[in-house]
Amino acid sequence: MKIVKKVGRYAILIAGSFIMILPFIWMVSTSLKDGGATMVFPPKFIPDPVTFDNYREVVDKFPMLRFLLNSVIVAVLTTLGTILVATMSAYAFSRLHFKGRDQIFLLYLATQMIPTQVIMIPQFILLKNLGWLDSYQGLILPNIFAVFGVFLMRQAFLSIPKELEEAAFMDGANHFTVCFKVMLPLMKPTLATLSIFTFMQSWNNYLWPLIISSSREMATLPLGLAMLQGQRTTNWNLFMAAVVISVIPILAVYLFAQKYFIQGMTMSGMKE
């Protein structure tokens, strides 16, 4: 009976995994087909013949490398800025004692319930007055103040014993030394989790770059994919080749930080 349950459990998991990975298999398969093989019925998962011309053509006819460079710059700098801001804010909310600390944190946490669409117009007007439209700073700075990042880092700081910082203070360390040299190295799983979430969100962000950028030179990959699909006739083999190019960096980042990501997810719900 136990064997039957075990086999059934694994069968369900394998079936679920296949259903989840099927769109990615179809994406890669379509990117390796020629134009006439994308609409055949019944569909073929194995391209015949296999061609890599779609990748070369989408790079030659469309500024995909520029879109890729913009996405890398925006995603990396947004991730680094979010980690810096979240770390310093979380340390203040978890380790420093000042009047109204918990009330301010709850008020800050409550802003998470405000829809992003509500604050986009005020942000746009502010950036227009600063002259930051269609610029990297306009794409990056509004997104580094993430409430979720502060909450996640604060929970990680609260899980570290206070004896470590007390020992550091006795050795003459200040708050910056305690934060960045004593406590932060112990928070690699949480840092990896926050990095992956922030990088993916920034990499896939479509609405804010659409609002803030007006030229192809500042467009990111999601905007580039929308331009490619928005043509009169969509060449699905070229479109899927561009999608594969956009997925590779996210997959690489996740595989690189997978170990710490899983640990961070298990630690993020620790009590105070």
**Which residue matches tokens 């609260």?**
158
Residue pLDDT, tens place only, 207-251: 999 999 988 889 999 998 888 876 666 778 888 888 898 888 888
Using CA atoms, how far apart are residues 27 and 30, in angstroms rounded to an integer? Answer: 5
Options 1.10.3210.10, 1.10.3720.10, 3.30.70.1290, 3.40.50.720; CATH for 62-267 is 1.10.3720.10
What does pTM read for this prediction? Answer: 0.83
pLDDT of 93 > 90? The answer is yes
- What is the domain partition of the chain in residue ranges? 1-51, 62-267
More confident residue, 128 or 62: 128
What average pLDDT does the segment 88-113 reach? 91
More confident residue, 43 or 200: 200
